[in-house]
């Protein structure tokens, strides 16, 4: 059975099929070697080994290359090198902190991070590739060594105390400037360094507790200036390949033990000096306070005495002023009474004059009223006399007119007159008259009975009918 399987398998493997499979594998290998797929953030250098030409690809995409006779080298477009920083982003290099020496021979450890950006210029990339041939070699040979060299050179331009007492920011600015544009051309000479310190203890001055500027001669590496007053520079190896420095970050530097002890002792001395000065100032302030307190007490006593004297003078002046005001008020009251009396008499005189005028007017009015009444009476008398005279002349005519008027009135009112004769009579006078109230009541009752009997007679007549 196994012989049958082997025979069938040999039947499947024929020379033609083997040649076909080898052709397919060769075609796939050629196709894979002919295509280059580039990613973002990388620069690719394609080297054609047949012609010796170099092609640079900086953008992501698909490119064709010489199969089996080409070499691809990949470079990082952004490279971050860290000295003494093991946290944060994924650095390409994690190295020990930079060991630097300052101008006053003190040393220190400075952690720093540098970020570099490669050029997109194909000629610059080709030049860089011909020099370094790989990404790792570029970082180790150029970027790391140049960053360390510039940091060490820049540190010689500062003293240890100057660096650790506020010069870190300026150090970072000069380091980035020299790394990007070239190292300063320097010389070593003695220069004056200005320091800020407290005045010596015991100086008899008001500002002995304030910071003062002092100068000290030290040896430093100083940049040489050109004719334009700018620092002269050496050639920058990064500019040859178009590499840019995009960021420089300085960590927390650590001084050597001797420098750290010096700085610590100096801080202690400054603290002791400040404490001593504060004690001196406190003693001075207390002495001045005591003196001021005595001056204040003396001034207060003088002021109290002066105030007592002024109060006595003021009291006397007040009494005089009160007496003067009382006299003036009495004088005013007398004048007021006199003026009131004068005004009262004048008022009475005016009232009398007014009353006189009123009475005179009333008299005149009464006189004219009497004359008017008299004239009216005379006129009415004359009219009445003329009227009676006229009536006397025509007596018969007047009587006839009066009779006529009376007759007309009686005629008009004659229908309204009705004369009823009494049916009963009660004599109240003479003998047998009504002499008492009982007689009157008895008589009225009799009249009432007579009226009722008359009404009953009328009703019986109506019923019979």
DSSP 47-81: EETTT--EEEE-SSEEEE--TTSEEEEEEESEEEE
Residue 14 backbone zone (phi > 0: left; psi -120 to 50: alpha; other: beta)? beta
**Which phi and psi (to 5°) does residue 15 adopt?**
-55, -35
Asked if 102 and 157 touch (Cβ cutoff 8 Å), the reply is no
User: Torsion over CA of 128, 81, 74 and 179, rounded to 10 degrees?
Assistant: -20
| Per-residue tens of pLDDT for the chain, all 465 residues | 555 555 554 555 666 666 666 666 555 555 555 667 788 888 888 887 777 788 888 888 777 666 767 788 889 889 988 888 765 555 555 688 889 888 888 888 899 999 999 988 889 888 988 888 888 899 888 999 999 999 998 888 888 878 887 788 888 998 999 998 888 888 887 777 665 555 554 444 555 545 555 666 777 777 888 888 888 888 888 888 889 999 998 888 888 888 878 777 777 776 676 677 777 778 788 888 888 888 888 888 888 888 888 888 888 888 888 888 888 888 888 888 888 888 888 888 888 888 888 888 888 888 888 888 888 888 888 887 887 777 777 777 777 877 888 888 777 777 776 666 666 666 666 555 656 667 767 777 777 777 777 777 777 777 665
Q: Are 56 and 45 in contact (CB under 8 A)?
A: yes
Could you give the CA distance from residue 245 to residue 188 in angstroms, rounded to a whole number? 28
Encode 226-246: b = buried (16+ Cβ within 10 Å), e = exposed. eeeeebebeebbbeebbbebe
CB 200 within 8 A of CB 135: no
Q: What CATH code would you report for 77-255?
A: 3.30.479.30
86: buried, middle or exposed (CB in 10 Å: 19+, 13-18, 0-12)?
exposed
Q: How many CA atoms lie within 13 A of 238 on its CB side?
A: 25
Q: What share of the chain is helix, strand, coil (3-state, %, to 5)?
A: 60, 20, 20
- Asked if residue 255 lies in contact with residue 97, where contact means CB atoms within 8 angstroms, the answer is no
Range(s) of the chain covered by CATH 3.30.479.30: 77-255
| Structure confidence at residue 146 (pLDDT) | 92
């Amino acid at each position: 059975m196994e012989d049958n399987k082997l025979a069938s398998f040999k039947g499947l493997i024929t020379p033609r099929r083997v040649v076909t499979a080898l052709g397919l594998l060769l075609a796939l290998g050629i196709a894979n070697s002919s295509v280059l797929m580039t990613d973002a953030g990388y620069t690719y250098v394609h080297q054609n080994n047949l012609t010796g030409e170099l092609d640079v690809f900086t953008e992501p995409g698909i490119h064709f290359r010489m199969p089996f006779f080409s070499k691809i080298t990949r470079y990082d477009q952004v490279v971050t090198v860290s000295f003494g920083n093991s946290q944060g982003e994924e650095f390409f290099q994690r190295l020990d902190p930079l060991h630097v020496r300052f101008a006053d021979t003190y040393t220190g450890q400075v952690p720093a991070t540098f970020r570099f950006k490669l050029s997109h210029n194909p000629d610059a990339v080709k030049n860089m590739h011909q020099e370094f041939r790989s990404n790792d070699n570029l970082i180790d040979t150029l970027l790391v060594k140049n960053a360390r060299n510039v940091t060490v050179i820049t540190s010689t331009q500062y003293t240890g105390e100057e660096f650790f007492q506020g010069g870190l920011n300026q150090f970072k600015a000069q380091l980035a400037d020299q790394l990007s544009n070239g190292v300063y051309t320097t010389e070593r000479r003695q220069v004056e360094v200005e320091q800020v310190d407290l005045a010596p203890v015991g100086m008899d001055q008001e500002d002995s507790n304030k910071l003062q500027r002092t100068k000290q001669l030290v040896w430093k590496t100083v940049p040489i200036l050109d004719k334009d007053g700018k620092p002269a520079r050496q050639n920058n190896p990064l500019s040859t390949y178009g590499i840019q420095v995009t960021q420089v970050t300085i960590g927390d530097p650590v001084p050597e033990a001797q420098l750290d002890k010096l700085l610590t002792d100096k801080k202690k001395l400054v603290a002791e000096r400040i404490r001593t000065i504060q004690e001196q100032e406190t003693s001075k302030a207390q002495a001045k306070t005591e003196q001021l307190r005595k001056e204040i007490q003396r001034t207060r006593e003088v002021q109290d005495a002066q105030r007592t004297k002024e109060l006595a003078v003021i009291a006397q002046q007040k009494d005089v002023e009160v007496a003067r005001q009382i006299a003036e008020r009495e004088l005013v009251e007398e004048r007021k009474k006199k003026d009131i009396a004068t005004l009262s008499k004048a008022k009475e005189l005016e009232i009398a004059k007014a009353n006189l005028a009123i009475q005179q007017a009333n008299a005149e009015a009464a006189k004219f009223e009497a004359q008017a009444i008299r004239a009216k009476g005379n006129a009415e008398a004359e009219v009445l006399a003329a009227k009676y005279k006229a009536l006397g002349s025509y007596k018969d005519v007047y009587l006839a007119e009066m009779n006529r008027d009376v007759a007309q009135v009686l005629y008009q009112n004659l229908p309204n007159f009705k004369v009823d004769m009494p049916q009963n009579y009660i004599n109240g006078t003479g003998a047998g008259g009504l002499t008492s109230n009982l007689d009157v009541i008895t008589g009225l009752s009799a009249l009432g009975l007579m009226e009722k009997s008359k009404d009953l007679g009328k009703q019986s007549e109506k019923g019979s009918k």
